Amino acid sequence: MLVNKSNLSNLFVSLKTMFNNAFAAAPTSWAKIAMLVPSTSGQNDYAWLSAFPQMRRWIGAKAVKNLKGYKYSIINEDFEATIEVERNDIEDDNLGIYSTQAQGAGMSAKQLPDEIVYDVVDGGFTNRCFDGQYFFDTDHPVVLPDGSLGSVSNMFDKKLSADSVEEAQASLGAAGVAMMEFKDDEGRSLNVKPNVLLVPPALMFVANLLMTTDRLEDGKANPFKGAYEVVVEPRLRSRSAWFLLDTTKPVKPFIYQERKKPVLVEQTDPQSDAVFSTKKFKFGAEARAAGGYGFWQTAFGSTGTAA
């Protein structure tokens, strides 16, 4: 193929079409557990997360939730997926491999939120959220109804188990009860109702067993059948950790912050210095985004490391 502006334009239109088709078809699951937050600058501030808003009886002046000096910001990062097309391959009509690369880049661009969000989930035991504690922690500071300070846990180390009703209640059951008992600083229920059980592939069988079987391994009736939607995510790095989430609230447990959607860029001028020096044309996608944590009260995590 002759390397000229017309042929290059046709080639990259074809690659863009493959990219866009793969982008549109790629499956994602991040929206099941995270909320999309648009960003218009280098970072977003989330001090407002320190208040879990609820309606209250209006007696006297309105109560305004104090942000209490909490600071939590999520800084956007740059992401890219680039395809390099050799000039010799264009001249020799050897372009088949680039079709596959364009499709792969499109899928990768569509699944960028998954990569970011599940990395955030993985870091929940060691990364801090708006209150300065780890997102999954044993001592989140809270204000009690009498004005004193207390602490609340949204994590433990129980192994997810379907071996018996007793073990299932001690793991999945205990996590659900803890979440539904979370209260605000006036002692009222936050009305947290977990609906998603997030697990890695290693726990897929146990999670599905808990949600579908009539009886557990000990022969007793399964009290958890149909209780939660199971989400199995291969990107989760721990084989033992599992997560119970309430994704029914406007603020979900995790945040996908989007500064710039994936956009297509190209370097296709045959007279450019880069092409002259390397004999390579470039085509790909760029994006700006980041991930972070919403209300810890809507999530409960277990390391699953208990013996």
Rounded Cα gap, residues 288 and 258, in angstroms: 6
pLDDT tier for residue 61 given thresholds of 50, 70 and 90: very low
242 burial class (0-12, 13-18, 19+ CB within 10 angstroms)? buried
What tokens appear for 14 in the block? 């074809």
Provide the residue type at 245 as one letter.
L
Span 239-257, mean pLDDT? 96
Percent of the chain beyond pLDDT 90? Answer: 64
pLDDT for residue 260 is more than 50:
yes
pLDDT for residue 52 is more than 70:
no
Question: What are the φ/ψ torsions at residue 234 (nearest 5 degrees)?
Answer: -65, -20
Rounded Cα gap, residues 122 and 33, in angstroms: 13
pLDDT for residue 203 is more than 60:
yes
Rounded Cα gap, residues 44 and 1, in angstroms: 48
Percent of the chain beyond pLDDT 70? Answer: 90
pLDDT for residue 224 is more than 90:
yes
pLDDT tier for residue 266 given thresholds of 50, 70 and 90: confident
Rounded Cα gap, residues 19 and 273, in angstroms: 26
pLDDT for residue 11 is more than 70:
yes
Average pLDDT of the chain to the nearest whole number: 88
pLDDT for residue 54 is more than 90:
no
Which pLDDT score is estimated for 267? 77
Weakest-pLDDT range from 62-71, 89-98, 291-300: 62-71
Note the pTM of the prediction, 2 decimals.
Answer: 0.88
What tokens appear for 51 in the block? 């208040």
Which pLDDT score is estimated for 53? 60
Span 241-264, mean pLDDT? 95
CATH topology of domain 5-49+74-302: phage-related protein like fold (3.90.1690)
**Structural domain boundaries of the chain?**
5-49+74-302
pLDDT tens digits for range 83-121: 888 777 777 676 677 888 889 999 999 999 999 999 999
What tokens appear for 243 in the block? 């997560």
